[in-house]
Amino acid sequence: MTRYDLALIGFGGVNRALAELIAERGDVLEAELGFALRVVAITDLRAGSLVRTDGGGIDLAGLLAVAPGELDFSGWEGGSPEPRNEWVIREVPADIIAEATFTDPTDGEPALSHVRWAVEAGKHVCTTNKGPVALHGQALKDLARRHGVCFESEGTVMSGTPVLRTARRMFGGLSVHGFEGIMNGTSNYVLGRLESGLSFAEAVAEAQALGYAEADPTADIEGHDVQLKVVILANEVLGADLRRVDVPCTGLSALTADDVRRAAAEGLRWKLVGSATRRPDGTVDARVAPVALPAEHPLAGIAGPGNAIAFHTHPLGTVTVGGPGAGRIETAYALLSDVIAIHEHTAAGAVPGAGNAILAKAHRV
Amino acid sequence: MTRYDLALIGFGGVNRALAELIAERGDVLEAELGFALRVVAITDLRAGSLVRTDGGGIDLAGLLAVAPGELDFSGWEGGSPEPRNEWVIREVPADIIAEATFTDPTDGEPALSHVRWAVEAGKHVCTTNKGPVALHGQALKDLARRHGVCFESEGTVMSGTPVLRTARRMFGGLSVHGFEGIMNGTSNYVLGRLESGLSFAEAVAEAQALGYAEADPTADIEGHDVQLKVVILANEVLGADLRRVDVPCTGLSALTADDVRRAAAEGLRWKLVGSATRRPDGTVDARVAPVALPAEHPLAGIAGPGNAIAFHTHPLGTVTVGGPGAGRIETAYALLSDVIAIHEHTAAGAVPGAGNAILAKAHRV
């Protein structure tokens, strides 16, 4: 049985949910996937750091019995009140760094540094942080290739719904010439409630009450969240080299509730669409904007907080993948799917593009 | 460069479209996928058989210049007026048999025999025929495993839209506990036109005029086509062991146009849904029936001849994959995606479950 040792950087909702997945489903995962997972380190801004590389690693059941806000590793064996991120990432003998810190999407920090440290230390990395991938995705992939490790980031777009990996692995032999997506559940929920007759303020308040919208919903409502995802998808799927400034962004405030209801009466549905298309000259045209979609459009029926991306391919046509776009368990599953992808690369003896460097990053136990 | 030699069994719409894909996109495929394809044999009930294992194999451009109805291999070098299916499959040194004959879905023949002959001869097989997979899928998979070859059949459900392979490869670590799908474009188109005010007869006639429905639309309209797909999906994705008789099937004739319009006025959309759910005792409950879906259901917005399958997973939730469900190029792409899957298995040196038997079924050129 192969085993991977994980270090969880950031222990907010997502990595805590990953720990829950491993604790509750570890046996099923071993039986089904053929590898075991052991968490050997956790760091967190508030709780500090915890390192246990002996025996079964960190006792996840014991850890998860403590309420999130009350975790304080300083009194624990192997614990410290300091997060010690750099030391843990560089020095603790983990195979995979699961990066899920609170990160500023505009400069990508601290996740960007975490990813670099991990790769430089020869460790595989998976992250759910959009910032580093949107800002420096290609550079980080190149760095990972040079170091013979994997850099995975499925959770940056539509949480655990496998859109990046589907586009990468399921469209072999096809040309993907563009995509359109509903990639933000908050704004889609608000649009649906406007159709139902609520005012903009009422719809946003309801989304907040249901936990779909944050206290400051600007990034969701004005499309900035989608803008980052468009950059990530266009660079990954269309081979573009876009930065955020290359993606014009219009949010929902450009619409009135009347616009939405009038369109609905005509069979049209306003959606906040992030899209990109490869132009004949090979460059990529990308944008975020509200669009009034006809009923037969594959994204018109995406309801509530749902997300979906329609990939336009030749010669197959349009393939749409829909599913959850957020949620702590759903996003933690993205990290698990990244670990599975790392296992597949490692088991095949090669990281794609790494000159088939044989990897010895897993333990036989 | 690795090269695979293909024998195309049946040269109707689908395998002819595969030949077009190879002829038109072969260079792109080589550059992108890292392998070349050479067609060394074609058999067809009307045209006979053609075998060319020298040089570049069969001259596809020359072949495709002849109109479909006028192909007659008897005068060609390497040609014969007889289809000679068994001899070609067993004796011609091809690596992969692409099986796309006109096959009776109730007994699976002649495709069933073609698949068996190929596997027994140590050749990989891909097929778009539902019959053999729905009737004997597990037995054929077991046979292929014993012979160390791959048996692929993505095109049996939703043509080239990657649903079987997505369920198999993208849901690692998840429990799939059921699915619901719109898996027949003809019936979905007809339902949409009933909503628009057409009578049943008018809607069917329109579908026939547009090429969505066959002269005898019974298999599409009454759910028999979907029934086979439910068997294939349930056995593949839920590990069931269903036969066709285990899937109760109610078709569209159970509905009236008034039912459809009355529901639409209430925000409900009738869809012909094929579904399966794993019961607590591990058995699988499957059926085909018209269902009135609420607007927020992930399948409610699937319009026109579109197809989609919603997979219900734990803990990720529902993931829906939509795309074309038919079409000759779309179905031919399914065969190409099967070839890509065979290449990935072969390149990894193993067929899953084949005891890691090393395969030597590709040519280095």
Q: Which pLDDT tens digit goes with each residue over B153-212?
A: 999 999 999 999 999 999 999 999 999 999 999 999 999 999 999 999 999 999 999 988
Three-state SS at A274: strand
Model pLDDT for residues B101-114, shown as the tens digit of each residue = 999 988 999 999 99
Is the confidence at residue B125, as pLDDT, over 60?
yes
H-helix or E-strand spanning residue A163: helix A163-169
Range scoring the smallest mean pLDDT among A314-328, A342-356, B135-149: A342-356
Three-state SS at B331: helix
Q: From the candidates A28, A30, A37, A170, which should be mutated to test the interface with B, based on the most B CB atoms within 10 A?
A: A170
Is the confidence at residue A61, as pLDDT, over 90?
yes
Model pLDDT for residues B114-124, shown as the tens digit of each residue = 999 999 999 99
Distance from the Cα of A81 to chain B's closest Cα (Å) equals: 33
Nearest chain A residue to B334 by CA: give it. Answer: A316
pLDDT at A362: 55
- Whole-number percent of chain A with pLDDT over 90: 90
pLDDT at A127: 98
Give the Å distances, CA to CA, from A22 to A6, A26, A39, A127: 11, 5, 9, 17
More confident site: A137 or A365: A137
Beta carbons of B296 and A304 less than 8 Å apart: yes
Contacts with B330 from chain A: Cβ below 8 Å: 315-317
Instruction: Please name which of B260, B257, B259, B286 lies closest in space to residue B273, comparing C-alpha atoms.
Output: B286
pLDDT at A315: 96
pLDDT at A184: 97
* Mean pLDDT across chain A: 94
Nearest chain A residue to B298 by CA: give it. Answer: A302
Contacts with A303 from chain B: Cβ below 8 Å: 295-296, 300-301
Three-state SS at B127: strand
Question: pLDDT-based confidence at A309, cuts 50/70/90?
Answer: very high
Q: Average pLDDT of A38-62?
A: 97
Q: Which of B173, B296, B322 sits opposite A340 (nearest CB)?
A: B173
Nearest chain B residue to A328 by CA: give it. Answer: B316
Give the Å distances, CA to CA, from B286 to A296, B183, B282, B313: 28, 14, 13, 16
Q: For residues B108 and B81, is the Cβ–Cβ distance under 8 A?
A: no
Using the Cβ of B322 and the Cβ atoms of chain A, whether some distance falls under 8 Å is answered with: yes
Q: From the candidates A32, A159, A316, A330, which should be mutated to test the interface with B, based on the most B CB atoms within 10 A?
A: A316
pLDDT at A355: 37
Is the confidence at residue A348, as pLDDT, over 90?
no
pLDDT at A357: 38
Is the confidence at residue B143, as pLDDT, over 70?
yes
pLDDT at A356: 35
Three-state SS at A37: strand
Backbone angles phi, psi at A171, to 5 degrees: -110, 25
pLDDT at B59: 96
CA distance A173 to A359: 28
Question: pLDDT-based confidence at B220, cuts 50/70/90?
Answer: very high
Instruction: Please name which of B44, B104, B35, B110 lies closest in space to residue B74, comparing C-alpha atoms.
Output: B44
Is the confidence at residue A25, as pLDDT, over 50?
yes
Interface predicted TM-score (ipTM): 0.95
pTM over 0.90: yes
pLDDT at B160: 98
- Whole-number percent of chain B with pLDDT over 90: 90
Q: Which of A175, A296, A330 sits opposite B303 (nearest CB)?
A: A296
